[in-house]
Structure 1
Amino acid sequence: MERYGTDGEEERESAIEAAALALQRGGLAVIPTDTVYGIAADAFDPAAVRALLAAKGRGREMPPPVLVSAATTLDALAVRVPGYARTLVEEFWPGPLTLVCHQQTSLQWDLGETRGTVAVRMPDHALAREVLERTGPLAVSSANLTGMPAATDADRAEDMLGEVVDVIVDDGASPGGEASTIVDVTGTQGRVLRLGALSLEQLNAVLEPLGATLVLEDGAPDADQDTDQDTGPDSDQEKDSDEGGA
């Protein structure tokens, strides 16, 4: 495992390049985001995704969310995205909002038992997006072992995952420190599956002028609970302490 800091411009570039290269080669990398640190893998490399899940001690029933570098990528990954979801994207991306959507059926990937859905987020973190620009969409789960709090700094991430990842990028403490809010937008009315950095009131304040509102799913956990991101009706895709999942 190699660990990279980001104090200077050269160090920052080296860290981004090392993480991107490791991911392109099918490895795992811990990267910072605007919420918590995430463990990342190439979303289109099934072996890498399996390694990510194994690193966290999870199975295929808990597939990871996907991070993207631009909002326009949503339409490459998802279909039948409703108008209210696009309003949320315009208002809260980049940022701590994960959307659970119907996935494009033509995608050649295997994130696990997604039941036809994909959880997508665009992080509000320049370094994370620079890595994503070089790699394309990444499967990113919170940097923690199952049952443990998500890492908000590189030291904690290394304690839990240092033996199973190829690269750790240390960008200091996470600026947000709280996981994303997860909204299932696969239905005519959106459902909040997990409350995180964005409250139900913040989300509905944007939608109410359009005549739309979200509802809170019964039993929806808070972001400080180590549950995993549900990516659709009756699915088990993680209500992850990211990140989206990271």
Structure 2
Amino acid sequence: MTQRLPATPSGLETAARILREGGLVAFGTETVYGLGGDATQPAAVARIFEAKNRPRFNPLISHFATADTAFAQVVATPLARKLAQAFWPGPLTLVLPRAPTSTICDLAADGLESLAVRVPKGECVQALLQAVNRPIAAPSANRSGRISPSDASHVLEELEGRIDAVLDSGPCAVGLESTVLDLTSEDRPLLLRPGGIPAEALEEICGPLAYPETETDAAPVSPGRMLSHYAPALPVRLNATSVKPTEGLLAFGPTPLAGAGAVWNLSQTGNLEEAAARLFSGLRYLDKQGAVLGLTGVAVQSVPAHGLGRAIQDRLRRAAAPRPL
């Protein structure tokens, strides 16, 4: 039985105690709900993988209350500190060389010489991280490859009975995972995953970014790099210009395509921030409607490729990718 804890002092105290004792607690951030475990305890991290059915070769992001505690685990470059000053707390993850004195266990880092760290935004998550006062590894609180959760009820739909508790702080404001930026190279910063911080905002500080030349499922250095990821049960068809009665429609803008069996509009006004916040809830909704109405797939209208639109497109491409056998 998974406890649903309120975001009160007593709920926070219980959640912090569970984490310190090696248990698993899902908690809301500004992006999505994370499945937290003490990153210094290998047994706790192993439980995260087990609860999510997650491949062992995908490293985890560790979360901290402050930039100082995050940078104590890595070799922070001047650029990293500049980015942290601009965007932390917030939806930015930095991949940096692992410090010799790091206390994060090898399993959380997948044995790599780098770590992914971030300082999330939100009163509740900040209070929790301060109370635990340890690095908290926290991938999205869902089964591996499935739709990320932006509400506590989404967590319970997937992980009820598999984790100790969920700390319910309400819906997530951003609803889209953090941007992941690799700073381990002496060359340009590498944008591993688009997310809550648009690339344009990063480039104002970093200059031009580099992008991965190919997508691969092999030994990713960042979470969220699996080809098939964020996927509903129904197959996903991108850039639809028409839709069948047997399909659900993930629409965008004031003119949804006509004829769908069910419709979820990411944003009727074409607002990309609203679309990002509603993306995963929409995929879940259409999945449920598919089971009820016998739908055969999800058709997706195109989303602009600028700002948060890049991150939305990234998640949708992964949702539409061929599923692992």
Q: TM-score, normalised by structure 2?
A: 0.64
- The aligned residue for residue 196 of structure 1 is 195
SS of 2:72 mapped into structure 1: helix
Identity %: 32
Task: Find the aligned partners of 1:130 and 1:181 in 2 and give their Cα distance.
Answer: 23
Deviation at 1:239, TM superposition (A): 2.5
Task: Find the aligned partners of 2:50 and 2:44 in 1 and give their Cα distance.
Answer: 10
- The aligned residue for residue 53 of structure 1 is 49
Task: Find the aligned partners of 2:84 and 2:109 in 1 and give their Cα distance.
Answer: 25
In structure 1, the gaps of 5 or more residues are 7-11, 222-226, 242-246
Taking the TM superposition and a 5 Å limit, the aligned residue runs for 1:124-163 are 124-135=121-132, 136-163=134-161
**Gap change, CA 1:96 and 1:219, over 3 Å in 2:** farther
SS of 1:118 mapped into structure 2: strand
Root mean square deviation, CA, Å: 2.0
**Gap change, CA 1:85 and 1:220, over 3 Å in 2:** farther
**Gap change, CA 1:192 and 1:114, over 3 Å in 2:** farther
2:235 matches 1:239: no
- The aligned residue for residue 89 of structure 2 is 94
The answer as to whether partners of 1:61 and 1:112 remain within 8 angstroms in 2 is no
The answer as to whether partners of 2:180 and 2:222 remain within 8 angstroms in 1 is no
**Gap change, CA 1:112 and 1:121, over 3 Å in 2:** closer
The answer as to whether partners of 1:144 and 1:160 remain within 8 angstroms in 2 is yes
The answer as to whether partners of 1:18 and 1:167 remain within 8 angstroms in 2 is no
SS of 2:93 mapped into structure 1: strand
Task: Find the aligned partners of 1:64 and 1:5 in 2 and give their Cα distance.
Answer: 26
With a CA cutoff of 8 Å and minimum separation of 6, indicate the structure with the bigger relative contact order: 1
Deviation at 1:105, TM superposition (A): 2.4
Task: Find the aligned partners of 2:102 and 2:63 in 1 and give their Cα distance.
Answer: 15
Task: Find the aligned partners of 2:94 and 2:53 in 1 and give their Cα distance.
Answer: 24
The answer as to whether partners of 1:61 and 1:237 remain within 8 angstroms in 2 is no
- The aligned residue for residue 170 of structure 1 is 168
**Gap change, CA 1:183 and 1:68, over 3 Å in 2:** same
Deviation at 1:216, TM superposition (A): 2.3
Amino acid at match of 1:128: V
* Deviation readout 1:56-94 (Å, 9 max, x if unpaired): 111331121100000111321001x22222211110011
- The aligned residue for residue 267 of structure 2 is none
Task: Find the aligned partners of 1:219 and 1:15 in 2 and give their Cα distance.
Answer: 44
- The aligned residue for residue 5 of structure 2 is 4
The counterpart of 1:74, out of the listed 70, 81, 86, is 70
Amino acid at match of 1:202: A
Task: Find the aligned partners of 1:239 and 1:105 in 2 and give their Cα distance.
Answer: 26
Amino acid at match of 1:131: L
- For these two proteins, the number of residue pairs brought into alignment is 221
The answer as to whether partners of 1:19 and 1:131 remain within 8 angstroms in 2 is yes
Q: TM-score, normalised by structure 1?
A: 0.84
The answer as to whether partners of 1:152 and 1:174 remain within 8 angstroms in 2 is yes
The answer as to whether partners of 2:73 and 2:101 remain within 8 angstroms in 1 is no
* Deviation readout 1:158-203 (Å, 9 max, x if unpaired): 1111211111111111111011100000012210001011121111
Amino acid at match of 1:4: L
In structure 2, the gaps of 5 or more residues are 231-325
